[in-house]
Amino acid sequence: MKSPFDAVDGSPLTNLIGNSPAMVEAYRMTRLAAKSHASVLLLGETGTGKELFASALHHLSDRASGPFVRVNCGALTESLLASELFGHVKGSFTDAVKDRTGRFEAAHGGTIFLDEINSTSSTLQVKLLRVLQEREFERVGDTKSVSVDVRVIAASNCDLAKTVAQGEFREDLLWRLNVLPINLPPLRKRAGDVERLARYFLNVYNQKNNGNVTSIAPQALEAMKNYNWPGNVRELQNYIERAVVLAQGTELESYLLPTAITGDRADAQAAVFRPTDETSLVREFVYNRISKAKEDADDLYKQIVAPVERELLEQVMDNCNQTQTKAAQLLGINRNTLHKKLQECGLGKSKVEV
């Protein structure tokens, strides 16, 4: 039996990629919700695109000509968040040197998106409940009520029903927010979308980084499809950009992906060299190469490490215009250590900044 929602347009929304059944359902619910003025609650893990869906809701609604205001409730303390949301009057606290308009006032006639709503304190939840019920509030330090015409879209990366049961979230606020819930699926439940997203980001980061990676090796693609993606689309996006930066050819190969995705396991010798700090893209490339050393290698350093280290130093020095200080900073090592390594590798003279 067909659902009555099947007649609603399920095509992808602006800036959103994917047409898996779970995403089609989210697109349909978004288009239905956009027609109303009711509050919407976006539920999904970190990295599933909650802000993109909130933006789509706003731009599909009759409030599209009004402001779209974003607030990350988890990024501020209770006092700062109260001032950010509702504004304050001069002298209401130490740093309040002048009156300030809050985000709710700024969103008048449009939409306000409250991300990580689950992180708000009980005191702030009471104030939010009043805004939702009465569409009015007071600025911090003021007694005069301010009325606003604003649509509220909230988002949470956890089950709010559980936080209510734990006494960490007001049940009445949940019912006010949860008029139109939209569940955003994690990437692991979006069959077929991994490849679409990977190719999309490949194009994006080729342009951004002057890359020329035009294809994805079958083994690399299969590994990505089988990976669980705990960080969802944001994690995929990060790894595609890293692969584009590190690629030496026109194909995204498996060695450019973290071993957590490919399932590769280096032997005991290679494991010694695997870094725990993955902040350096160059180091990630070097250690992935090391993990592919033969099991019967008698001299791992001579066969793998030394040639790759020389190549790494040569490229970094070229990129830094032969300036040792800049190269040492990029590599995250002491300048004297770099100088010694350059001598050991037989590389030419370089500039030394004093």
Beta strand residue intervals within the chain, DSSP E: 40-43, 68-72, 111-115, 136-138, 145-147, 151-156, 180-183, 215-216, 251-252
Tokens describing residue 313? 């130093």
Tokens describing residue 335? 């300048």
Confidence band for 223, pLDDT divided at 50, 70 and 90:
very high
Tell me the CATH number for domain 4-185.
Answer: 3.40.50.300
> Bridge-partner residues for 40, per DSSP?
153, 180
- The mean pLDDT value for 321-330 works out to 76
Cα 86 off chain centre by = 27
Residue type, 271: A
Measured distance CA(150)–CA(215) in Å, rounded:
46
- The mean pLDDT value for 319-332 works out to 76
The CA-based angle 257-259-264, given to 5 degrees, is 115
SS3 264: coil
Q: What is the pLDDT of residues 4-44, one digit of tens each?
A: 566 678 788 989 999 999 999 999 999 999 999 999 999 99
Measured distance CA(206)–CA(3) in Å, rounded:
41
* Of 103-117, 134-148, 196-210, 291-305, minimum mean pLDDT range: 291-305
Contact 216/262 with Cβ under 8 angstroms?
A: no
- Domains of the chain: which residue ranges? 4-185, 193-344
Q: Which of 149, 166, 164, 163 is nearest to 110 (CA)?
A: 149
- The mean pLDDT value for 315-326 works out to 76
Give the helix ranges, DSSP H, for the chain: 21-34, 50-60, 78-86, 103-106, 122-134, 160-165, 171-177, 193-209, 218-226, 232-246, 259-262, 268-273, 281-290, 300, 306-319, 324-331, 335-344
Q: What is the pLDDT of residues 156-198, one digit of tens each?
A: 999 999 999 999 999 999 999 999 999 999 999 998 899 999 9
Produce one character per residue of 302-337: b if its CB has 16 or more CB atoms within 10 Å, e if not.
eebbeeeebebbeebbeebebebebbbeebeeebee
Measured distance CA(338)–CA(21) in Å, rounded:
53
Tokens describing residue 30? 């978004």
**φ, ψ at 156 (rounded to 5°):** -145, 140
Confidence band for 331, pLDDT divided at 50, 70 and 90:
confident
Would you state the pLDDT for residue 313? 81
Q: What is the pLDDT of residues 280-304, one digit of tens each?
A: 444 444 455 555 554 445 555 565 5
Measured distance CA(42)–CA(64) in Å, rounded:
19
For domain 193-344, the CATH architecture is Orthogonal Bundle (1.10)
Tokens describing residue 196? 């679409």
Contact 185/197 with Cβ under 8 angstroms?
A: no
Would you state the pLDDT for residue 277? 41
Computed over every residue of the chain, the mean pLDDT equals 83
